Amino acid sequence: MDSVLVVPGLNGSGPEHWQSWIEPLLGATRVEQADWSQPDIDLWSARVADAVRQAPGRVWLVAHSFGCLASAVAAQSVGERIAGALFVAPASPDKFGITARIPAAPFPFPAVVAASRNDPWMKFLAAASWAERWGAQLVDLGNAGHVNTESGHGAWPEGLELFRRLQQSASLIAGTMQA
């Protein structure tokens, strides 16, 4: 049985956030941080890696903002357990002074980077560059802000559909590799 982990960003995802909406729909578990207001890449990525190790089966990640960065770093140690990842509105590692800590090689699993053209936390071209480095599919969300509550993203059926498409494409890839 596969597991789904929701990995929020800075300040967590409040009750109106799309991650809180999608969590019960996917039967997901939220990766909790000791301090949501202190984005520490070492502590946060360790929490993600521990959650991946403890989850049963293959693990799917649904990450947002700084949670994307923490998930990318965690993937360096637990990538073989990850079935796929949806990274929505990743934050720029430059804003936190951790660019050198973020892996710049393709992930060993399918991934989607969903980025907005007017995201204040990462320019679209930078998100496209990270998607290319990670071997991830880039999805252009248009002018969707930071894809959070402030930009009107509570219930977000499009995000659920992106995740379902990622799961389907990963299943097709796995089926092809087994044939």
Query: Which domains does the chain show, CATH number per domain?
Result: 3-178 (3.40.50.1820)
- How far the first Cα of the chain sits from its last, in Å, is 21
**3-state SS assignment for residue 17:** coil
pLDDT at 171 (0 to 100): 75
What is residue 55's predicted lDDT score, i.e. its pLDDT? 98
Q: Residue holding tokens 């995802």? A: 13
Q: What is the pTM of this model?
A: 0.94
97: which 2 tokens? Answer: 């002074």
For 52, the enclosing helix (H) or strand (E) is helix 41-54
Share of the chain above pLDDT 70, in %: 96
| pLDDT per residue as tens digits for the range 112-171 | 999 999 999 999 999 999 999 999 999 999 999 999 999 988 899 999 999 999 999 887
Angle between helix axes 66-78 and 41-54 (nearest 10 degrees) is 60
For residue range 96-123, what is the model confidence (pLDDT) as tens digits? Answer: 999 999 999 999 999 999 999 999 999 9
Return the amino acid letter for 30: R
